Structures are given as C-alpha cells and as structure tokens.
Amino acid sequence: MPHQAPLGYVAMLAAFVGLGLFVLPGSAQTDAPEVEALFKENDCHKCHHPTRSKKGPALQKIAEKYKGKADAGDKVVEQMSKGGKVKLDDGTEDDHKIIDVKDPKIRLEIAKWILSH
C-alpha cells in the first residue's frame, strides 16, 4: 500500500489552503507547523536540513536559489513531484524521492514553506 500523508494533516492543510491562511514566500516566515510536520512525515528532513547541507541542500540554500523567481513554487513542486536524478555534493547522482502527497495545493504549500527559509 502506498505511503499516504496522514488524513489529519491533509484535512487541516486543505482547510488552511481553502481559507488562504498561508503566508506567501517573500513575506514573513511562514508559521505553518502542519506543513513542517508533513515535510518530516515524508522524511524530507532526512536529506534537507533548514540551515546546513545534508545529503541534499539546506532549505535556506534552496530558498536562496529561487529568491525573486516568479516560478519558484512551481519549480520546487516539480522537484518533489516528479523525482528524477539529482546531483549530490559528492558528485554522485541519486533519485529524488517523490513526496506522498497527492493534492497539488498542499504540495504547493510545502514548496512555499521550503522557500520561506
């Protein structure tokens, strides 16, 4: 059975999305513990730390890379949705995990949270 995001988080996030409660990137730091929980629930934190490089780049580094770009959210969503090869700091390549979140709106909120670092 595929690993699904917990319904509680998804429902809560869907409600937040519907109510437009998320803060967009570029403004103040998103206060979204539910998004962070979903990020960790999907083990994204195994490779991405907020401030330091692990197997993958730090969230701050990702946010910096896309700073000021209009399509930043879409690019991050694409990375987490389509997987594909990513180049690691040690020069090797690995498959990027595809996040187990089906709702595109929630994927976008996770991307926004990443970009808020």
Q: Which is nearer to another protein, 19 or 95 (CB)?
A: 95
For the bound state, the minimum distance from the C-beta of residue 11 to another protein, rounded and expressed in Å, comes to 14
Q: Which is nearer to another protein, 20 or 95 (CB)?
A: 95
Which is it for the CA torsion 110, 10, 30, 21, positive or negative?
Answer: positive
For the bound state, the minimum distance from the C-beta of residue 41 to another protein, rounded and expressed in Å, comes to 6
Which positions touch another protein (CB under 8 A)?
1, 3-4, 6, 40-41, 43, 45-47, 49, 54-55, 94-97
